């Protein structure tokens, strides 16, 4: 009788302290084992360090891009995640090669995507190995990115040329602010910190509707005056492009992490709630490519970004912690299922199927895309840490 009472008290204490955990829905070991097999094949088929895996052509052939392309850093970043999980030396060697293959992009001042291109591979490489060789390319690259910030507009310019836009800024830009924060801390350069905060604040003012959905593109005039709010990759100027909402919630979650300013947490939660409560979000939680186009193609890449962002957001949010974690878990469970995970030796050795890049331009529709794999692996690692007992 005494043993029963003691056990009951212990179980009550465990539950009260939040340590009781249900069995994870996602088998992370199985997911990484498959990813390692696919990417072993990917490495075997990609010996040329100037041809970065991107997607699949309409005829089924592999589609590669050069280092100047905004997605060039995701492959190296994924290799670092595989090394982080497996601790296999071969992954470390491969990740280092594909990271250093991007070195010249640290001088690239023609793109706002240097966070994707440099921080994903170099940043993860440094975080995992503490290899000081990775610091300088990031410092140089962040300063190249900072040249695209114009104080007259108060934002980092996205594209140098775009129809009817003097100064276009896209929601994707939020993802590159983490890069500036890291280098600001590394070098004690407050200028980079201030650029990130100013960009995020002005984006928060002008990129969002009252329901927390985001425009894809905002065209600015000097004085941070809005000329036009529109889309480029979404279905319509008034629609909610799925991956854009994912960039947004991820971006403001990292803004809260780096600054601890609660306005960013409120913004991230508002975006998350818009997504999770949207009537057009499918039951499996993998969104349509645009929330205003139900019944059309799903976007696994958006789900992967959402899952990673929601998992981190769940560690900051008190009121909606379980909602964000459970939604992310459902997304990951769907992505890890045969509905979205490829068969071994298929899909040009990418992990996930069914992503959408730029449907209005008829580009990368219902296909694997390298950044879907990257954020999927990142989300799996975050999930593993949060579910570890």
DSSP one-letter string for 79-124 = HHHHHHHH--HHHHHHHHHHHHTTGGGGG--S-STHIIIIIIIIIH
Beta-sheet pairing, 217-221 with 167-170: antiparallel
Cβ(231)–Cβ(239) below 8 Å: yes
**Residues paired with residue 65 on neighbouring β-strands, in sequence order:** 52
Backbone angles phi, psi at 193, to 5 degrees: -60, -45
Residue 302 and residue 292: Cα distance in Å, rounded? 15
Burial class of residue 386 in the structure, from the number of CB atoms within 10 Å of its CB (0-12 exposed, 13-18 middle, 19+ buried): middle
Q: Which residue has the tokens 């084992």?
A: 33
Residue 34 and residue 13: Cα distance in Å, rounded? 38
Backbone angles phi, psi at 62, to 5 degrees: -60, 145
Q: Which residue has the tokens 């000081």?
A: 132
**Residues paired with residue 365 on neighbouring β-strands, in sequence order:** 356
Q: Is 113 a catalytic residue?
A: yes
Residue among 96, 113, 290, 299 flagged as catalytic: 113
Helix (H) / strand (E) element for 365: namely: strand 363-367
Structure tokens at 81: 């995640």
Structure tokens at 9: 């008290």
Give how far Cα 261 sits from Cα of 143, 167, 200, 354, Å: 24, 28, 12, 36
Residue 324 and residue 273: Cα distance in Å, rounded? 9
Residue among 64, 96, 133, 172 flagged as catalytic: 172
Structure tokens at 281: 């979000």
Residues labelled catalytic: 113, 172
């Amino acid at each position: 009788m005494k043993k029963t009472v003691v056990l009951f008290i212990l179980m009550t204490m465990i539950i009260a302290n939040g340590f009781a955990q249900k069995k994870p829905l996602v088998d992370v070991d199985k997911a990484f084992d498959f990813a390692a097999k696919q990417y072993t094949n990917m490495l075997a088929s990609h010996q040329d360090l100037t041809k970065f895996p991107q997607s699949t052509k309409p005829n089924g052939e592999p589609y590669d891009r050069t280092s100047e392309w905004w997605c060039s850093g995701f492959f190296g970043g994924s290799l670092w995640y595989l090394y982080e999980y497996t601790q296999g030396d071969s992954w470390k060697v491969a990740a280092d090669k594909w990271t250093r293959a991007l070195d010249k992009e640290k001088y690239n001042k023609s793109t706002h995507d240097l966070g994707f291109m440099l921080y994903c591979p170099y940043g993860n490489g440094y975080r995992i190995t503490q290899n000081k060789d990775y610091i300088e390319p990031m410092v140089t690259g962040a300063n190249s990115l900072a040249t695209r910030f114009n104080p007259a507009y108060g934002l980092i310019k996205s594209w140098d040329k775009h129809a009817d836009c003097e100064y276009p800024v896209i929601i994707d830009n939020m993802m590159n602010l983490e890069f500036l924060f890291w280098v600001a801390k590394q070098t004690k350069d407050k200028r980079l910190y201030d650029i990130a905060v100013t960009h995020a604040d002005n984006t928060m003012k002008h990129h969002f509707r009252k329901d927390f959905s985001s425009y894809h593109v905002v065209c600015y005039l000097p004085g941070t005056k809005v000329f036009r709010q529109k889309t480029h990759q979404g279905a319509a100027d008034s629609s909610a492009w799925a991956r854009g909402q994912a960039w947004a919630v991820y971006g403001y979650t990292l803004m809260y992490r780096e600054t601890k300013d609660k306005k960013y947490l409120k913004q991230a939660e508002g975006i998350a709630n818009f997504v999770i409560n949207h009537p057009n979000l499918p039951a499996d939680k993998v969104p349509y490519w645009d929330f205003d186009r139900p019944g059309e193609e799903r976007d696994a890449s958006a789900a992967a970004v959402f899952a990673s962002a929601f998992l981190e957001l769940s560690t900051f949010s008190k009121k909606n912690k379980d909602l964000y974690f459970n939604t992310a878990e459902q997304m990951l469970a769907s992505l890890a299922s045969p509905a979205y995970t490829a068969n071994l030796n298929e899909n040009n050795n990418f992990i996930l199927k069914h992503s959408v890049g730029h449907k209005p331009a008829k580009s990368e529709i219902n296909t694997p895309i390298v950044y879907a794999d990257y954020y999927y692996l990142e989300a799996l690692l975050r999930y593993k840490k949060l579910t570890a007992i």
